[in-house]
Amino acid sequence: MTLIKRNINNLVPSLWNDLLEKEWPLMPGLATVHGTNAPVNVKENKDKFSLEILTPGFNKDDFKIDLDNNMLSVSVEKKNEVLDAKSDEKYTRNEFSFHSFSKVFTMPESVDTEKMNATYNNGVLSIDIPKREEAKAKPIKSIKIS
């Protein structure tokens, strides 16, 4: 069984992703401002599933990871602000912005949610989701005839 990704940010995901998250030649940077869809790799081996979410520019404290029943939710919000803004200063250009995303994954029954762990390194959030022992593939066993 595989993990199922649910993107709760868009009601019509493919249309909005194509329109809002694409770099258009006349509007560079639009994907950075409106981009709410962090790319995800889902890997599986005999012992576990691994999620890798590309999220450069965040800190590990920015993330919120929740597990509710069999739904894994990963979200982040980050607001870039001017730390020392004075009222008499005027901006000729201000590119600070607000970044957020939320992803929801349906966990299969074969995983052990009690042993999940997450790490954040070099802009990649990694979540390891081990499989239950009974769900792991067993090696072929030869039976001798007596």
pTM: 0.63
CA atoms within 13 A on the CB side of 46: 4
Please report the domains of the chain, with CATH numbers, ordered by start residue.
4-82+90-132 (2.60.40.790)
User: Which tokens belong to 15?
Assistant: 């249309």
- Specify the DSSP class assigned to residue 21: S
In what helix (H) or strand (E) does residue 16 lie, and over which residues does it extend? helix 13-20
The sign of the CA dihedral 49, 18, 7, 108 is negative
pLDDT in tens, 5-43: 555 544 445 554 555 444 444 433 333 333 457 889 999
CA 40, CA 54: separation in Å to the nearest integer?
6
Beta strands per DSSP E along the chain: 4-6, 40-44, 48-54, 63-68, 71-79, 98-106, 117-121, 124-130
pLDDT in tens, the chain (146 residues): 456 555 554 444 555 455 544 444 443 333 333 345 788 999 999 899 999 999 888 888 889 999 998 899 999 887 766 544 556 677 777 777 777 888 899 988 889 989 999 999 999 999 999 999 887 777 888 888 98
